[in-house]
Structures are given as structure tokens and as C-alpha cells.
A and B are shown apart, each in its own frame.
Chain A
């Protein structure tokens, strides 16, 4: 081989991409780009105090009542996947956003955006799934709207749901209540929904059937609040996974979070799928899990109550809030090292090799 003289003084690097002139997929990924879009574009445009709090649901006072109010749009592809469908997701997702505010969902609205040409049987299946999910969650779809867009302008069916529910007296769930010493509990195995969707969307076979964990969490939250109304904060770790939820709480509370990686329940099938694709289970979406910050003195009783509930059988203590490294989530690795678990930027990308 000929002589190679490397002149490192001439080495250079590419230009930054600071301001994106157009929307990219990462703006909807539930990570840093999504947060920036809301904070720097939507919130200033809308104004208003309630939105500025940037929670999963708004806690409002209307005519003496404490109302939780939330909305979410569902654009999942495919419409039907192992363990659920866009219909069940549209009900459970909004019910869960309300549950994270401590509220029992009472009424939902439902907005359909249908694509010209989609089979009526498909729409019927989605609607039936929504009805079944609503009955299971004890919530009523009280109002709705339907629009049709031209063929090629949608993925068959898009659904938006909004919901309201009452927040019980004495319940005040928000990240600002987190204090060092709080115990972090996750309600079960993580990563199932994201891997299930990936397996059908990308045609990837992982050797085992992985089903979405799509479920309504209102009952589990009620069981936890029955132990103590003094839970500090709840989050359902959907887009961006457990990592995004913990980062949001750490940032908003100003405390640090220590995560014991070995205690996080990750099903073997999810771990294997993530290993193949170069993804981290902590960032994979869930649709039937919650993460709770609980005062230390109540942690054991809350954990017992969760494990007694069908949706909390695999609940586990995975970490604690600490005074050190405020705003940062730090994982203790299985080998004894530490690493920062950051807010995901956009969507996780499968690695090349």
C-alpha cells in the first residue's frame, strides 16, 4: 500500500441544520423536536396559561369542578395490528392521558378523517373496536365529526379523540410535586406496542408473536389512588417510551432521576427485537403502561395495589428521584457503570450494522 500521510489540521466537518424550513417526521416523534414545535411555535401562537403547562392533559377549573381535558390524534399504520387497532388506541390513548391527571374519563369526542375509497367494512371494524374499548373503559363517546379527504391524501382512517373527566378532590398529579426520595414505579413490561407495530409495519419476523399492550389504565390508577391520593406524578410512556417520560418529569421537576436498568421489566422478545434493530427498549412506545413517582412511605403499598390489578401484575420499582444531576435521567447499568438516558431527538432509527 502506498504511503499515506494524514494531515489532521485540514480535517473539517459539515454544517449544522439548525432551523428546518419544513416539518420532518421527527416533529411528531414525541421527542425534543416535538417539544420544540409546541414550545416555540404553537404555545406562543395560542397563548393561554393552561397550554403553557405542557402536560399530557390540562387540569382546569370550570364552574367549581376540577376537569381534566385532553386530545390526541391517531395516525397509526397499519390500522389493525397484533393486540389492537387504531380504534382501541384512539379510546385508550385519550382515556390514559386523562388518567395520568388522576381523572376518570367521562366523555370522549371522536373526529374521523376518512380517505376516499377506504372500505366501509374497515371503518365499521374501527368503530366497533372504539365502542368495545369505550365500554371497557367506562367512557361514552358523546360527540363526533366525519370528514373525507381525496384518495391518496390519507392512510385510510385517521382518528382524533378528545376527552374530559373529573379530578377527585385531594389529587394533584404534576411533575413539580416530585421531590428527591420519591420512588419510581413502572406498571409492567415495556416496549410491546412499538415492537408489535414494527413487526407488522416493516414485515419483520422476530420468531415470536409480540402483541401491543394497548389498554385503558383508569382502573389501575383508581386502585393506586385508593392506597393514597398523594401520588406525585403519573405518565403513560407512549411515543419516546420510558426514556421520554422520565426526561419530561426530570426536566419539569428539577430533580434528577436514577434508573436501575436491570430492574426495568423488558420482555425477552422485545430485547431481542431491539438488539436486532439497534434500538433501545427504553425509547420504544407503550400503550398500556404508566410510570409513577410515589412518596417513599407509600411506595410499597402502591406497588402491592398495582400488582393486585391485572394491568399491574409485573409492576416494578425501577428507580428514584435524587438531588444530584437535576433534570437528568441517569441509568445504572447492569455491569455497574452509569450513563445518561437522554430525551430522544425524534424517532429512533434502525442502525446500519
Chain B
């Protein structure tokens, strides 16, 4: 499937942009929920191409960014224990806990491994029966089914040295919390297409009705984003607030029934703390009672965690769409990908990292790039040789 070229076609993008320009008559603020969408928007410069009336507010949908500090610290503690093989998706390794990250744990001798699937972690458990293998099960509804499958398989195969450190989060309660926030400016949502490919769209009409916001299920390629914006703007201009599926090649209204059945069996809904935001009721999943023995928190009984978060950074407000990353005083000075204050500067899907990587040019010569930044070594510009060569 040649989806990359097809869904990045400049001519089609121009047509969509023209359509948006022709439709919009007043300012609108849309939130793209998912960090993957934020990454696409900034990487391709879509926010620069949209008419001034359309503002994109970056949502809290990066699972790396919102994993609570306490859970990261538990991961660090478990990964440090002898006899443990700690498996994780790659981008969790650089997220700062209290004072260190998983890369440092590995540098200190911890067995931390990057895997591409929880089933790889399960395979590692089968290959190392004398070790405890723990998989860091984070993410939205997208990554929950394979994690559920791993636990399900572990039970089916009688693998007892495997467990999950779970910090799953759910999108609809987060949208609810954002809309209820007194400072909320969001008038429409681009819902996360991959989440809906699992969950379907049934959870959204009630939210759209109650808060009178259009919700457009949107994909992740540039044309997907533009189509999502086009449909949301069209609804807003018409005074409508319905749920639309602009990602039909991946999303069916009923979602993925097999995945939903697996989720219902293995997980149960719980309150969940979101890093930088706070606790949102019913916004997470934990392993259900039937599968509690595979819960790493339960198995390892991590106690004595003291989290420390300085108040220098405002990633909570960024995650909530209340400020843009560069409006934080720490952005680009105290806080860079090299020395992140917050997870939003760590994850490639984090809004702050996306702005730092791709947008500093538009933000002027301010704090984003001081004359000698600690992130960029100053290369001496001495001539190549001490004695000039004829």
C-alpha cells in the first residue's frame, strides 16, 4: 500500500487548504487529541499553511507525556532490581523520573530492553524462565489490546515470570475533563483515529452533544489532518456538532470487536493520574481482578517512592491546550530535549519537543536558540591547518 505518497500529495493538500479557506469566516480553535497528529502537523508545517482563523491546540494525547511520575519511578525501581528484564517501547527510555531515566538504569547495570511489541517481551519471558520479565504497558486505547493479549497468552501458556506495569489511559474522559475546565477554548476536536480503530465511535456522540462540539475522527498523514480540519470547520461554520469519521480506511463505527472483548476481559476502568494534569476519574485501565497476578505493581510491591517535581515548567497547561509550548518561560532555555524539564519535551510526540525541533525558526531569536546553547557544541572555526597550505 503506497499510503505515504498518496496521503502527502501536495496538489490534494492545496485543494483541501483552498476549501478550508473558502469555508472559514471567523476564528475557530480545534484540538488535535493525539500526539501523533501533533507531530505530523508540526513536522509538515501544516499549522503554517492553514488560514489564520484556524488555530490548532495541541491536546494531551501523548501517552509518553502523561504517564505519571510515580509510575515512571516504579518502572525505574523495578528495572533496577537484579533478576529483572525490563522491556519497554523505545520512547519511554528517555522520560525523566525523579532524577534519572531508564537509559541511566541501563547504564547502571539494569537489564532494560527495547521491544516493538509486548509479545516480544512475552517471548523473552519464555526464553528466560529464571528471570522476571516486566513489560511497561503504557498508552491509550491503541496499545491496550496487544498488552491485554500478552497477559492473556501468558496465562494460556502457563508463563508465570511475566508481568505488566500498567498505566493505560482513555481518551473520552480526557475530552470530558478538558471541556469542563473553566479555561477551555476548544471548539472542536480531531479525535485520534488509531484509538477509534479499536474502540469505534460509540463513546463520542454523547460528548459532542453535551458540549456542543464537532468531533471528527482523524488519521495521521498530512491529508488526513487537513480533511479532519476541513470537516470540523465546516461543521462549526454551520453550527453543527456531530461525530464524523474522516478515517474510514481504518475506523469502523463498531471498532474492533475482538479487541474490545479482550480489553473487557483483561482490564477494568479505574481513576488515573495524568502527568502534569492531575487525576481524571475513570480515565484509565488497570488489570482486572482475574489477571491481578500479572500486575507488576502487585507482584513487586514497590514502596517508598517519593516523587519530586519542580514547578519550573508548565507542561500541564501545554497538555491542556491552554498555552503553546514557547509561551512557557523555560522553553528552549532551562528546558530542551537535552535536559527536559517535562515529558512533553522528551517524547517525539510531545508538543514541546515538536516545537523545539521544528518550530524555533518561527519563534524568533528568543530563548529557543541562545548564542551558545548547551545542546549544540560550539565547533571551533580555526583554519584546517596551523600553517597555511599553498
List residues of A whose CB falls within 8 A of some B CB.
1-8, 10-18, 20-26, 32-33, 35-36, 38-39, 49, 52-55, 59-61, 66, 169, 172, 174-176, 202, 204, 247-248, 251-252, 254, 262, 268, 271-272, 275, 277-278, 325, 327-328, 330, 333-340, 342-343, 345-346, 349-353
Q: Which residues in chain B, 76-126, are within 8 Å of chain A measured between CB atoms?
A: 89-94, 96-101, 103-104, 106-108, 114, 116
**What residues on B are CB-neighbors of A59 within 8 Å?**
384-385
Do the beta carbons of A268 and B2 come within 8 Å of each other? yes
Chain B residues with Cβ below 8 Å from A1 are 173, 176, 281-282
Residues of B within 8 A of A (CB): 2, 4, 8, 10, 13, 36, 42-49, 63-64, 69, 72, 89-94, 96-101, 103-104, 106-108, 114, 116, 138-140, 142-143, 173, 176-177, 180-181, 183, 194, 222, 275-278, 280-282, 308-317, 320, 322, 334-335, 337-343, 347-349, 356-362, 369, 375-387, 389
Q: 25 A-B residue contacts at CB 8 Å?
A: A4-B177, A5-B180, A8-B320, A12-B276, A12-B311, A14-B72, A14-B342, A16-B340, A22-B107, A26-B103, A35-B377, A39-B377, A39-B378, A52-B382, A61-B387, A175-B379, A176-B381, A247-B376, A334-B44, A337-B48, A345-B375, A350-B89, A351-B90, A352-B89, A352-B91
Report the bound CA distance from A17 to B89 in whole Å. 20
Within the assembled complex, what's the spacing in Å between the Cα atoms of A36 and B90?
23
Please state if B106 and A278 are interface contacts (CB–CB under 8 Å).
no
- Please tell me which one of the listed residues A39, A335, A353 contacts residue B36 in the complex, with CB atoms under 8 A apart: A353
Residues on A with beta carbons closer than 8 Å to the beta carbon of B96? 14-17
Task: Give the nearest-CB partner of B334 in chain A.
Answer: A16
CB contacts (< 8 Å) of B91 on chain A: these are: 278, 349-352
Give Cα distance in the complex from A133 to B148, angstroms: 49
Is the CB–CB distance between B4 and A32 below 8 Å? no
Structural contact, B36 and A349, CB atoms closer than 8 A:
no
B108: chain A residues at CB < 8 Å are: 22
Bound-state CA distance A346–B107 (Å) is 14
Contact B45 A338 (CB under 8 A): yes
Partner of B384, one of A53, A204, A327: A53
Q: A16-B339, A335-B10 are in contact. List 6 more A-B contacts (CB 8 A).
A: A6-B177, A14-B275, A16-B341, A23-B107, A251-B378, A353-B143
Q: Which single member of B45, B94, B101, B381 contacts A337 (CB below 8 Å)? A: B45
Instruction: Check if B281 sits within 8 Å of A13, measured CB to CB.
Output: no
> Contact at A32–B46, with CB atoms within 8 Å?
no
Given that A335-B10, A340-B359 are contacting pairs, would A327 and B376 also be in contact in the complex, using a CB cutoff of 8 Å?
yes
> Distance (Å) between the CB of A177 and the closest chain B CB?
9
Cβ-defined contact, B381 with A32, below 8 A: no
Interface centre among B44, B92, B139, B340, by most chain A C-beta atoms within 10 angstroms, is B44
Given A10-B278, A271-B4, CB of A17 within 8 Å of CB of B183: no
- CB nearest neighbor in B for A261: B44
**Are A252 and B381 in contact, with the CB atoms below 8 A?**
yes
Q: With A4-B176, A254-B381, A333-B44 given, is the CB distance from A24 to B339 under 8 Å?
A: no
CB atoms of B281 and A4 under 8 A apart: yes
Give the residue of B46, B97, B181, B385 whose beta carbon is less than 8 angstroms from that of A6. Answer: B181
Closest residue on chain A to residue B95 by CB atoms: A14
Residue of A6, A39, A52, A176 near B180 (CB, 8 A) is A6
Least Cβ distance of A44 to chain B in Å? Answer: 13
Q: Are B116 and A350 closer than 8 Å at their CB atoms?
A: yes
Q: Are B309 and A15 in contact (CB under 8 A)?
A: yes
| A337 surroundings in chain B (CB, below 8 A) | 44-49
Verify A6–B381 contact, CB threshold 8 A. Answer: no
A244 smallest CB distance to B (angstroms): 12
Q: Which residues on A sit within 8 Å (CB–CB) of B358? A: 339-340
- How far, in angstroms, from A59 to B389 measured CA to CA in the complex? 11
Q: Does B357 contact A342, Cβ atoms closer than 8 Å?
A: yes
CA distance A345 to B275 in the complex (A): 23
Q: Which residues from chain A contact B311 at a C-beta distance below 8 Å?
A: 12-13
Instruction: Report A336 CB to chain B, min CB distance, Å.
Output: 6
CB-defined contacts of B72 to chain A, threshold 8 Å = 14
Most chain A Cβ neighbours within 10 Å, of B45, B49, B98: B45
Given A4-B177, A6-B181: A24 and B49 within 8 A (CB)? no
Residue in contact with B386 in the complex, picked from A22, A49, A333, A346, CB distance below 8 Å: A49
CA of A352 to CA of B72, assembled, Å: 15
Look across to chain B and name the residue whose beta carbon is closest to the beta carbon of A38.
B377
**Cα A10 to Cα B98 with chains together (Å):** 18
Known: A17-B96, A335-B8, A342-B357. A25 touches B103 (CB 8 A): yes
Contact A349 B114 (CB under 8 A): yes
